[in-house]
Amino acid sequence: MTELKVGIIGCGNISSIYFQAGQKFEAINIVACADLDLERAKARAKEYHIPKAYSVQELLNDPEIDLVLNLTIPKAHAEIACAALESGKHVYGEKPLAISLEDGKKILDVAGTKGLLVGNAPDTFLGGGLQTCRKIIDEGWIGTPVAATAFMMGPGHERWHPDPEFYYQTGGGPMFDMGPYYLTALISLLGPVSRVTGSTRITYPERTITSEPKKGQKIKVEVPTHVAGLLDFDSGVVGTLVTSFDVWHHNMPWIEIYGSEGTLRVPDPNTFGGPVLLRRHDAADWSELPLSHGFTENSRGIGLVDMAYALHNKREHRANGEMAYHVLEIMHGFHEAAEKGSHYSVKSTCKRPQAFPGGLNSNNISTLLNK
C-alpha cells in the first residue's frame, strides 16, 4: 500500500512516542512537523530526521500531507482539527476529541462535509492486554457481562508535574484527564452507553504546587476533582467509574468485568500490556492468562496505523471520531447529572470497535490489517 504522509502539529512531550511510531510502522511516513514554537519543531525534526519543520499554517498549506496528527493542548484540539479538515487533510488527535460538545460535533460535521476521516486517542485499547480481555469476553469465558467497575484515583499532579495548573482548569480534572482511557476501554469491551448519572466535589478549592520549577505557587481549582459516575450500557451492563485527584492511597482494581460465569480483571487502560486475570465461578483462585496479541509495550500510534490501513482498504477504523465524541459526551454527562441531580440520557452512540485479528503483532500487522 502507499504510505500515509503525516504532519505532526504540536511537538511537546507526548510527541516523542508518535515520532517513534513513524519509524516503526511502514504504513505511515511523518514528513513534517510544526509547533507554535518553531525552534521546538526544528529540534524535533532534527532529532527524528523529519524532512520539514514548519509553522502551523505552513504545514496546513502543504499539499503533500495526507493527515494531520494533532498533538496540541486540549483547548486547541478543535481549532487545529477543523483547520486541518478545511485544508483537505484527515485528522488523528490526542485525547480528548475537544473540550466542549459543540466543538466535538463541529469536528465530526466538518469531516462529514469534506468526506474525511477523524481518528482519536486513546488507542491503548488496541494493545495486547485489552485485546486479550476482548477475546476472553467474546469467547464467553465469563458468560454474559453483568456489571463493571473502574477506578482511577490518586492525590493529584501538583506534587510531581512541572506545569500542573491545567489539570485543575476547565477541560482538566480527573475525568477529562484520565476518563478517556477508562471509558474507551469499557466501550471497546462492552459497547456504547445510553445513560449516566454522577456525583462530584471539589475537595480543595486551592492547591499548592510542591514540584519544581513552580514550587509554592497556588492553583485555583475550577473543576471537580472527585467524580463518581454510574453508566447504563446499551447491552444492559451496569458500570461504575470513579476518577479522583483527592485520594492518597487505595487498593481498588483498574477495571473489573463481572459476568454470569466469572470475573475478568482488566489491566491499566493507560498501558498496552497486562496482566490479565480471570477467575471463573468454580475456580479456587485467580489465573493470569497469556496475552493473545502483541503491541504490549508503549505503542501509541497503533490507532493511527490502523486508520492508515482503513483508508487504503475503505473500511472503518477502530480509534474513530464517533467513539471519541461518545466518550466526550459521557464525561460531560457525569458533570451535568451531578449539577442537576438527575440522570443524563446520552444522545450519541458508536459501534463497539471491531477486535484486532487474533495473534496480531509487529511481524504480521501489514498482512492482517491491510485487508
Q: Residue 100 burial (CB < 10 Å; 0-12/13-18/19+)?
A: middle
Q: Strands of 193-201's sheet, edge to edge?
A: 287-289, 276-280, 262-266, 255-259, 145-153, 238-244, 226-233, 193-201, 344-345
Check residue 163 and give its pLDDT: 86
Ramachandran category for residue 110: left, alpha or beta (phi over 0 → left; psi -120 to 50 → alpha): alpha
Residue 47: count of CB within 10 angstroms of its CB = 11
Check residue 371 and give its pLDDT: 81
Check residue 264 and give its pLDDT: 98
Residue 16: count of CB within 10 angstroms of its CB = 14
Q: Strands of 67-70's sheet, edge to edge?
A: 52-54, 28-34, 4-9, 67-70, 90-93, 118-120
C-alpha cell belonging to residue 81: 482539527
Torsion angle, alpha carbons of 72, 75, 338, 237, to 10: -30
> From start to end of 234-289, where are the E strands?
238-244, 255-259, 262-266, 276-280, 287-289
Pairing label, strands 262-266, 255-259: antiparallel
Contact yes or no for 307/369 (Cβ under 8 A): no
Residue written as cell 463493571?
148
Residue written as cell 471497546?
188
Alpha-carbon span 276 to 264, nearest angstrom:
8
Domains for the chain: give ranges and CATH numbers.
Answer: 4-120 (3.40.50.720), 125-289 (3.30.360.10)
pLDDT, tens digit only, all 371 positions of the chain? 679 999 999 999 899 999 999 999 999 999 999 999 999 999 999 999 999 999 999 999 999 999 999 999 999 999 999 999 999 999 999 999 999 999 999 999 999 999 999 999 999 999 999 999 999 999 999 999 999 999 999 999 999 988 899 899 988 999 999 999 999 999 999 999 999 999 999 999 999 999 999 999 999 999 999 999 999 999 999 999 999 999 999 999 999 999 999 999 999 999 999 999 999 999 999 999 999 999 999 999 999 999 999 999 999 999 999 999 999 999 999 999 999 999 999 999 999 999 999 999 999 999 999 88
Check residue 1 and give its pLDDT: 67
CA angle 179, 95, 298 (to 5 degrees): 90
Name the phi and psi angles at 219, rounded to 5. -120, 125
Helices 101-114 and 77-86: crossing angle, nearest 10°?
10
Alpha-carbon span 135 to 80, nearest angstrom:
36
Collect all residues with Cβ–Cβ distance below 8 Å to 336 and sequence separation of at least 6. 344
